[in-house]
Amino acid sequence: MKRAAPFRIEWDAHEYEHKERSLDWFWAVWIITFSVAIAAVIFGNIILGILVLTSVFALALFINRPPENVHVIVDERGITRGKIHYPYESLHSYWLDTDHPHPKIILRSQKAFMPLIIVPIGETDALKLDATLAQFLPEKYHAMPFVEKILEYLGF
């Protein structure tokens, strides 16, 4: 890891992009959910049916809440998103996704169960952030995870 003079870039951003959903959207989600749960019960997998119902119920509760503001700090020790600190030693590389309507930093972690960490950029200067992160991490292209693309397409 390279050494740099002490610095600190801070900003606040929404933790995720909030979308207003119509009543029709909720009807469609629940119709599909009940169809999958009934099919699971018909095929003899009651636990899967219960799991599908409880997961969609929890998702529906989460979807209605407005996003909270997350305080992000980039300094010489690492990146802090909210209360979680990611030291540069635990990260492989980064990518700034500025083509998306809501720009974000995609960090590749060394952790097996959380390989990609997504940090919203908000209104921060992306060029200054890129120059800062380049001092500590290599820049490599990281695409958004496939599941996240599908969920975004479906309106989640």
pLDDT one-digit tens code per residue, 79-93: 999 899 999 999 999
Residue 35 has pLDDT above 90, yes or no: yes
- pTM to 2 decimal places: 0.70
Q: What number is the average pLDDT over the span 53-81? A: 88
pLDDT at 124: 83
The percentage of the chain sitting over the pLDDT mark of 70, rounded to a whole number, equals 96
Q: What's phi and psi for 60, nearest 5 deg?
A: -65, -40
Residue 119 has pLDDT above 80, yes or no: yes
CA dist., res. 105 & res. 38, Å (int): 40
| CB atoms inside a 10 Å sphere around CB 102 | 12
Residue bearing the bigger pLDDT, 152 or 8? 8
What six digits make up the tokens of 68?
């909270």
Q: Is the dihedral of CA 32, 34, 37, 41 positive or negative?
A: negative
The single-letter DSSP state of residue 5 is: -
In the sheet that holds 8-14, the strands lie side by side as 8-14, 69-75, 78-81, 84-87
**Closest by Cα among 77, 76, 62, 79 to 121:** 79
pLDDT at 4: 55
Q: What number is the average pLDDT over the span 99-126? A: 84
**14-18, 76-80, 91-95, 134-138, range with the lowest pLDDT:** 14-18
